[in-house]
Structure 1
Amino acid sequence: MNVAIFVGCYMVAFIMLWRLAIVGFPFAVLLVIPGLMYGRGLIGIARKIREEYNKAGTIAEQAISSIRTVYAFVGETKTIAEFSAALQGSVKLGLKQGLAKGLAIGSNGVVFATWSFMAYYGSRMVMYQGAKGGTVFIVGAAIAMGGLALGASLSNLKYFSEACSAGERIMEVIRRVPKIDSDNLEGEIMEKFSGSVEFKHVEFAYPSRPETMILKDFSLTIPSGKTVALVGGSGSGKSTVIALLQRFYDPLGGEILLGGVAIDKLQVKWLRSQMGLVSQEPALFATTIKENILFGKEDATMEEIIEAAKASNAHNFICQLPQGYDTQVGERGVQMSGGQKQRIAIARAIIKAPQILLLDEATSALDSESERVVQEAIDQASIGRTTIVIAHRLSTIRNADLIAVFQNGQVIEIGSHDELIENQNGHYTSLVHLQQTEKEKNPEEANSTLPTCASSSITNMDINNTSSRRLSLFSGSSSANSFSQNRAPLAGVSVVEDQEKLPVPSFRRLLALNLPEWKQAMMGCSCAILFGAVQPVYAFSLGSMISVYFLTNHDEIKEKTKIYALCFLGLSVFSFLINVGQHYNFAYMGEYLTKRIRERMLSKILTFEVGWLDQDENSSGAICSRLAKDANVVRSLVGDRMALVVQTISAVTIAFTMGLVIAWRLALVMIAVQPIIIVCFYARRVLLKSMSQKAIKAQEESSKLAAEAVSNLRTITAFSSQDRILKMLDKAQEGPRRESIRQSWFAGIGLGTSTSLTTCTWALDFWYGGKLISHGYITAKALFETFMILVSTGRVIADAGSMTSDLAKGSDAVGSVFAILDRYTR
């Protein structure tokens, strides 16, 4: 759009007065400089600020996620001191950003200098070249408008180049064909598969650590229908065996046989369909229990789902949930207890009727009673299947047909429990004795069973566990970078007894926090008031300059041209200096307010009881997001928005006063229709802004699903669920797609209407102004001056009005900040 404006403006200028257009072209290039400065310099500084804040955010993240340790060692004061010191770097960069922003926006004053030259050269063309005054003005306006549009477009070049770069990376991923391609339908499909597995002299090292051999000359035979347990120390290669069997990797040497056929000769999708995987921390998706079980077999009937749930000891507790199989499990299954998640995962694994069941420490993360229930489900699911078990607790594998003991990537012992325990000097015997000794030292932990024994009692316990999680869809997980993520609103959250209500936001109280920076506040507001006067004075000079071109006396033209040219030049310098002062001082206020709020918030949070921090909505990720996002929104509210409000009030007051003094009759009419112009400009900005925001919001569900799929890639690959995920993603995008089309229609109609109404109001102004001139109430000079002053003011008011959504967002952030600062520790 901006490039089209630039081309259109210069076409008009060349057609109407090509000499002036050629001479004015270098000045249009000067107008590009602010756009380049804003596009490159400011975005670079903003990136550095995010990187610098990451250091402080990491300190807060670590402290909150390890809050019990912080409290135990009375480390609150040290944490706050480190956090405060880390924030200082982002404050310094924020001041640089304010200065750079002032320089960039102040450089827009070049447009005034352009008019200074246009006034001088245009007057000479009127006097000596016979050019018409109106033509000269139109060409000058076209050159100035085109240059500003080109500068605005160049500020977006960085985003365009980043989009091209991102697009190229996306295409590389799309075009990439993996070495082990699950979509490749080539390969053998065995009609009859007994379930036997054999590893022959396998050598393997992970691609990320090629120098470290995980399996060395590894050989193991697993008979069909037998249960084989793999035990050994951490890093001995147990989980690697399962990964190789599922063909997540190919061995560097040796071969793996399934039913006597090398697995690299088999179709990958068929191979994985013969296996059911249950891992230590089962990956459940943020959908219903039913949908999670269907990941095992997409076309399963409800009867098959229930049978699988019964086989995994999950049916009873599912039926006692309010929505039964339609109960949402939450992100990563956060609404389910550990035992419930494992049983759902087992149901998902066995619904596909796999020939081989893979259990990777499936009970090691559970308490004793939950482990007993899950182990019963595993024993039942293992009947008639080849089962490979990786176990941490050796008591769970006593009944295995074979136990293979791993050490340094090799099997050093193999046999049943009774056979291995007979060897008193054996490695397996040592492991058994070691675990028995640990149990004797920690009898409470060993006997930490729940006060119920029956399966139905366990079910009730699980339901209570679920309800105690408050059925929140917000993930309690956190990561080192979670503080930089946007805080999503909680969906489906049940009412919590101790849920605090956000206090009514108080802007006066917020300013009180900024009291130490009162000097910068006074200087910043003074600069904003003075800058507010720039636009009306510029408009007045522009309107006056038009009338100069229609004078007949050359000496008078020269004299007045000199005055207005110097006026434009003075405005250029004045605007530059005032902008630098305004943005630097407001940046100073905002940065130190942000630092103060973050310090006080963290200091207050570190006094709260652990129970508050244990709530899902108060996870370390959510709190760090509030520290990063809310404080930043408040800074924008006090800095940028406050400056714009002061600037707008100043501009409107001065403009209306000047208009009424110059031509009060015309000014009254123009002020009366001013709301229409304001609404038009406001509608343009808000429609475009809301389209962008709604598009982002509409994509949140799709983005969340995609992120969940990537984080659970191993599970999706193991169950060959790629097509199911893609269908879910496509379904999630149906709503956003329809909303986007609907919004586009509304935006198009709105933008077209606003442009039309703006032109109509201008036509009314000139019609009425012409009537006033014909009756001798005003002069043509007064008409141009009043028109230019009040029309430009309408745009200023609309710019300020378009920030109402930002003010609402800022108000919510202020309430969120004071909700923490005002909370009493219980």
Structure 2
Amino acid sequence: MEKTSNGLHNHQVHPHFQNEDFDAIELNSPAIESPTKTSSSVKMKDIFTKSDEDKKADKEPQQLVGYLSLFRFANVMDVLYMIIGSIAALAHGAAFPLMLLVFGNITDIFTDQAAGPCNAPWNYTILTSFCPDGVVLTPENFITEYKKCNLSGFNITMPDILGTIRQQSIYLTIMGCGTIVVGYLQVAFWSVACERQTRLIRQTLLRSILTKEISYFDTHKTGQLSTRLTEDVNKLHDGIGDKVGSALQFFAGFLAGLILGNPDGIQKDNLTGDIKFSNVRFVYPSRPDVPVHNGLTFTADHGHTTALVGTSGCGKSTCMQLLQRFYDPISGLVAIDNIAVDQYNLAWLRQHIGIVSQEPILFQTTIKENIRFGKMDATKEQIEQAAQMANAHDFIMQLPDKYDTLVGERGAQLSGGQKQRIAIARALVRDPRILLLDEATSALDTESERVVQDALDRASKGRTTIVIAHRLSTIVNASKIIVINKGSVVEEGSHQALMDAKGVYYGLVQAQNLRNVDGKEVEEDADLTEPPPYDRTRTLSNQHQTSVDEKDGLTNDDESSEKMEYSGPAPFIAMLKMNRPELIYIIFGCISCICNGGVQPAFGVILSKIIAVFQVCDQNEQEKQVLMYILLFIGLGVLMLITNFFQSFLFAISGESLTQRLRSKIFRVLLQQDVAYFDLPENNTGALCTRLATEASAVQGATGIRIGTMLQNISNLGVGMILAFIYGWSLTLLMLAFIPFMIIAGFLQTYLMTGFANSDKKALENAGKTAVEAISNIRTVAQLTKEQYFDDEYCRLLEVPYKNSIKRAHVFGILFSFTDAIMFFAQAALFTFGAWRVEQGAMTFENIMLVMNCILFGAMAVGQTASMSPDYSKAISASKNILTLFLRQPEINNSSNEGKVLDNFDGHIKLQNIEFCYPNRPKVQVLKDFNLTIKPNKQIALVGASGCGKSTIIQLLEHFYNPKSGQILIDKNDLLTLNLQWWRSQIGFVSQEPILFDASIRENIAYGDTSRTISLGEIQEAAKNANIHQFIVSLPDQYDTNVGSKGTQLSGGEKQRIAIARALIRNPKILLLDEATSALDTESERVVQEALDQASKGRTTIVIAHRLSTIQNSDLICVLRRGKIVESGGHDELLARKEYYYRLAQAKK
């Protein structure tokens, strides 16, 4: 199958649409059965309130979307479904007027019969003389009383009412049977067409997002894009489903067009890999006033390694992004083999580029599949060979499931170094012509770094390799070193040539030599690798030790808590209790509903009276009574207007308030959960976002306006039944015989819909997880050209809810049509039995009409209630899920206010006999009889191999987990007895992978202390201490500059320094540093390290570092191995021992 430039097949998004704003985006869509043959286009309108950042991006007026455009995702089969459903809807809509026509015929029959005596030339005085005593015949009562008299001698003939009514009843029965057929076709076919289109919209929307230019994500929040895959599409679903069929009982007709797009590009047979940047100028779309490249010009030759060096923010990483066409330059040329990169087929180009970045992104699947993302047709041998080249094979084979081990969300189950090595293997397995290395070995320990560097050196042979590195020792063998400053090349040449020139590069090398930079220690522990900002923004939340079998499962406590389901009062009642603040609205809303429901049977009574008026022989009396009933109609209409308004208004307020309250509480409860909760696969980011977006609003299917409608229908049915029994109990009993069928149909709808809703929930959460993961890591997805993989995976996960929705459409269509048809059957029985009762003189036509109208309005109420059963079922299912979440009691409540607050906190920490294993891996012992004492105001450094437990200690100190046994004493107080909020407020943390929020720089720094209002002066002082102030004030918006999602508008060093400023703003008593300066250039590292050294004074500081030069001044250095301290002491003391620490220091030398 031919592929497009974005790695998707030829039905994907045309490049013309890639530059359009998502507020008016045109998406191409394939046919479901024949994805390569047809396509169509639709414009998706943003229904959300935009942030200021989004408003800035939307410079052109938004284009409104026509309603018919919503159907442009329909293919031929969908159109056929909708045509048949529309014809059925028209027939179904015609059934009701036809029923009224039959009703009119029946009315004429009874009325003509009753009015006949008025015009008959009979002498009623004479006729009365042949009657028993007490019976007086008049034109008004002749029909009911004449059989009591002996009138056989008179030539009086009455029409065969019973025979005529039977004929009309047959018509009603036929219409009822027809209603079953057309009602089913209307609901089922429109629902099937809707589900098919909605599935395609979800797929195409994700496909379109994945194929957008990377610059698009700089100005659009990924959270908003993820929400559009859930809540927005759900709203679209409501607008094109069976509700359209209901509307098409009055309106019909639409036409869908399919647009075929197949963007192509150059695909060379032999790509050499010569790279040229010529006078390139570039700015990021979100910061058009800040130039990044300013006439950048250089070349990278095939078969050689070119290194890019320079300070943070000089534009090195931007070069790699331009090569991958995440962005296009403002001017100038970026070319490969003398062909501009924008002329190549985009997917083909990216498939020939291998990249290893400083922050590796792994997906929530097995190690084998993560490596295979580099080359989807890679064999097992090729995968293992790539892993061996990346020095990852040995640790993989030590895992219980080896290459089939699940890495967790964002690779959470692996350490940073292990993730990096798998990322390197992923790049190597595709055997790329161009290799881009952005600090590729930064997360590796000394030994792994040496082996992997050798592997990368070998892999670079015969390829064009571009390297970005802060540690200049890793690039001394590069064929060409290019020094970039402020977006321009200031020097280039070999290492020796540049050293001889004694220019900028010479100064950088000397700065590192002066600082005596040692090699990195072992790679960081898995626990300390933070996820990038798109996902969970909690620190140290879901990273753990390696050597884990994912199948080990949960502990018993976690297992039981996750399986626990809500078993209290009915979810409906529980939701109403949460609506208690709006009780006054609900009470008056209920009163309005009861009045509104009672008004409708009153209409039936008046209508019956009006029909009966035509039996009055006196025309003046007729006109008088008709006028009276018309006035009553007007009065009831005004009353209904008032009650309807208050019913809708009051319940809308209560329903929306409940939704807002639920969303807030769900989010609050999620934040209260302990870290172990988020470690569970089912509680991944995508699933939680899906729950938050959909379940809170789904509850309105059983609350809010739905309550009003149901209560109105109950009132309607109740009042109608009472009136019907009063005026014709026998006829009412006959009608009640049909009620059980309606109830059974409604129950089946509710039961079956609830079952479908529960199964759909899990499947949609899994699909949402995949979509969020792909969107959040769009750069990595684009680097690997795996848009098609995530597109296919998302489509696969949508299959289960799609198939369920098809079943649901047929079931609901059958039950809905059956419920609707019962009304026809009931009327046929009513008129037949009523005509017989009239002939017997036991009832009047007026009573029949009154009973019929009361039953009719009641039946309509039952039908309306039954039609709400799918929404009600979804609401009950969502309510159970929400209440189950509310019931979960975390072992560590993040928002708890309980516990002691120490008035005089010195910072003395003691870990005593600690045993620990992670809750979701109880068989893997991480810390074993661990003991460590940290004196106040001292700096302790933790070093050791990956998986030795360094980061676990950090997480225990943050109180993310409780130790299995042992104690953590804080100033001789058990950590478990301290107030959690107070304790964490005493800690400042800086990690290797900084987490920044999609907000301004000022806000990101101020987030370091939310307990008070932070002045701009304090923020600036913290920024100065982190050596970031000068950079910030050079920006057009200075401290109000938005950093973008995941801080994408900043370089790695800039993000790191803002994270350091954020830690310093709270003036913590305890400082936790995890490679806090690893992403900085030499000069920034020196200044920031001095700032951190200064900040450490008067504080208890715990440092995890790979560069031993950053910890040699620590008061105590502890070397960890397999969960225990095997060596501790000062830097010189440990070197003198010539044991573990000495070997680490000597490895680099």
| TM-score normalised by structure 1 residue count | 0.63
> Shift in Å at residue 311 of structure 1?
2.0
Q: Deviations over 1:116-138 (max 9, x none)?
A: xxx9xx99x999xx9xxx99xxx
Q: What residue number does 1:759 align with?
A: 824
Q: Deviations over 1:607-630 (max 9, x none)?
A: 776777888877899878777766
Q: What residue number does 2:852 align with?
A: 787
CA separation in 2, counterparts of 1:599 and 1:265?
49
Give the letter for the 1:388 counterpart.
Answer: I
Which residue of the other structure, out of 643, 652, 656, is the alignment partner of 2:721?
656
CA separation in 2, counterparts of 1:519 and 1:725?
49
Q: What residue number does 1:561 align with?
A: 626
Q: What residue number does 2:879 align with?
A: 810
**What is the RMSD computed on CA atoms of the aligned residues?**
5.6
Give the letter for the 1:306 counterpart.
Answer: E
Q: How does 1:548-627 map to 2 (within 5 A)?
A: 548-587=613-652, 589-590=654-655
Distance 1:328 1:619, change over 3 A: closer
Q: Secondary structure at the match of 1:234?
A: coil
CA separation in 2, counterparts of 1:527 and 1:696?
35
Single out whichever of 331-340 and 685-694 deviates more from structure 2.
685-694
Which residue of the other structure, out of 264, 270, 295, is the alignment partner of 1:190?
270
Q: How does 1:143-158 map to 2 (within 5 A)?
A: none
> Shift in Å at residue 790 of structure 1?
2.0
> Shift in Å at residue 407 of structure 1?
0.5
> Shift in Å at residue 308 of structure 1?
1.9
Which residue of the other structure, out of 539, 554, 569, is the alignment partner of 2:604?
539
Residue 312 of structure 2 corresponds to residue 234 of structure 1: yes
CA separation in 2, counterparts of 1:407 and 1:311?
34
Conserved? CA contact 1:630–1:814, under 8 Å: no
CA separation in 2, counterparts of 1:515 and 1:733?
37
Q: What residue number does 2:841 align with?
A: 776
Residue 440 of structure 2 corresponds to residue 362 of structure 1: yes
Distance 1:655 1:396, change over 3 A: farther
Conserved? CA contact 1:200–1:220, under 8 Å: yes
Q: Secondary structure at the match of 2:737?
A: helix
Single out whichever of 669-678 and 378-387 deviates more from structure 2.
378-387
Give the letter for the 2:705 counterpart.
Answer: D
CA separation in 1, counterparts of 2:796 and 2:671?
43
Give the letter for the 1:354 counterpart.
Answer: P
Residue 326 of structure 2 corresponds to residue 243 of structure 1: no
CA separation in 2, counterparts of 1:590 and 1:752?
29
Q: Secondary structure at the match of 2:704?
A: helix
Q: How does 1:267-306 map to 2 (within 5 A)?
A: 271-306=349-384
Q: Deviations over 1:306-365 (max 9, x none)?
A: 222222233334444455444454554455443343333222222221232111233446
Q: How does 1:441-480 map to 2 (within 5 A)?
A: 476-477=535-536
| TM-score normalised by structure 2 residue count | 0.47
CA separation in 1, counterparts of 2:622 and 2:796?
69
Q: Deviations over 1:272-328 (max 9, x none)?
A: 443212223344445444444333323332222222222223333444445544445
Conserved? CA contact 1:478–1:620, under 8 Å: no
> Shift in Å at residue 666 of structure 1?
1.3
Which residue of the other structure, out of 456, 460, 474, is the alignment partner of 1:382?
460
CA separation in 1, counterparts of 2:863 and 2:654?
25
Give the letter for the 2:372 counterpart.
Answer: L
Q: How does 1:416-435 map to 2 (within 5 A)?
A: 416-417=494-495, 420=498, 426-430=504-508, 433=511
Give the letter for the 1:527 counterpart.
Answer: S
CA separation in 2, counterparts of 1:699 and 1:628?
12
Q: How does 1:313-332 map to 2 (within 5 A)?
A: 313-329=391-407, 332=410
Q: Deviations over 1:458-477 (max 9, x none)?
A: xxx76x999x99xxxx9944
Q: What residue number does 2:484 align with?
A: 406
Conserved? CA contact 1:188–1:265, under 8 Å: no
CA separation in 1, counterparts of 2:879 and 2:804?
26
Distance 1:358 1:316, change over 3 A: same
How many residue pairs match? The answer is 654
The unaligned stretches of length 5 or more in structure 2 are 1-45, 53-99, 120-163, 166-189, 216-260, 539-549, 897-975, 977-1149
Q: What residue number does 2:739 align with?
A: 674
Q: What residue number does 2:95 align with?
A: none
Q: How does 1:635-784 map to 2 (within 5 A)?
A: 637=702, 639-679=704-744, 709=774, 712-721=777-786, 724=789, 727-728=792-793, 731=796, 741-784=806-849
Conserved? CA contact 2:420–2:444, under 8 Å: no
Distance 1:394 1:798, change over 3 A: farther
Conserved? CA contact 2:758–2:877, under 8 Å: no
Q: Work out the percentage of aligned pairs sharing the same amino acid.
A: 35
> Shift in Å at residue 634 of structure 1?
5.9
Compare CA radii of gyration and give the structure with the larger one: 2
Q: What residue number does 2:919 align with?
A: none
Conserved? CA contact 2:666–2:882, under 8 Å: no
Q: What residue number does 1:148 align with?
A: none
> Which protein, 1 or 2, shows the higher relative CO under an 8 Å CA cutoff with sep ≥ 6?
1
The unaligned stretches of length 5 or more in structure 1 are 1-46, 56-114, 136-155, 451-460, 480-490
CA separation in 1, counterparts of 2:556 and 2:788?
42
Conserved? CA contact 1:604–1:820, under 8 Å: no
Q: Secondary structure at the match of 2:589?
A: helix
Residue 530 of structure 2 corresponds to residue 530 of structure 1: no
CA separation in 1, counterparts of 2:269 and 2:438?
26
Conserved? CA contact 1:188–1:267, under 8 Å: no
Q: Secondary structure at the match of 2:437?
A: strand
> Shift in Å at residue 248 of structure 1?
4.8
Conserved? CA contact 2:389–2:425, under 8 Å: yes
Distance 1:743 1:582, change over 3 A: closer
Single out whichever of 409-418 and 232-241 deviates more from structure 2.
409-418
Q: What residue number does 2:928 align with?
A: none
Distance 1:686 1:630, change over 3 A: closer
Give the letter for the 2:432 counterpart.
Answer: P
> Shift in Å at residue 784 of structure 1?
1.6
Distance 1:813 1:720, change over 3 A: closer
> Shift in Å at residue 555 of structure 1?
3.0
CA separation in 2, counterparts of 1:623 and 1:739?
22
Conserved? CA contact 2:699–2:878, under 8 Å: no
Give the letter for the 1:534 counterpart.
Answer: V
> Shift in Å at residue 409 of structure 1?
1.9
Q: How does 1:510-521 map to 2 (within 5 A)?
A: 518-521=583-586
> Shift in Å at residue 779 of structure 1?
1.8
Conserved? CA contact 2:593–2:711, under 8 Å: yes
CA separation in 2, counterparts of 1:616 and 1:729?
17
> Shift in Å at residue 214 of structure 1?
3.2
CA separation in 1, counterparts of 2:656 and 2:808?
36
> Shift in Å at residue 572 of structure 1?
0.9
CA separation in 2, counterparts of 1:822 and 1:569?
63
CA separation in 2, counterparts of 1:598 and 1:632?
8
Q: What residue number does 1:147 align with?
A: none
Which residue of the other structure, out of 345, 355, 359, is the alignment partner of 2:423?
345
Q: Secondary structure at the match of 1:778?
A: coil
Q: What residue number does 1:456 align with?
A: none
Structure number with the higher strand fraction is 2
> Shift in Å at residue 664 of structure 1?
0.9
> Shift in Å at residue 218 of structure 1?
3.2
CA separation in 2, counterparts of 1:570 and 1:529?
17
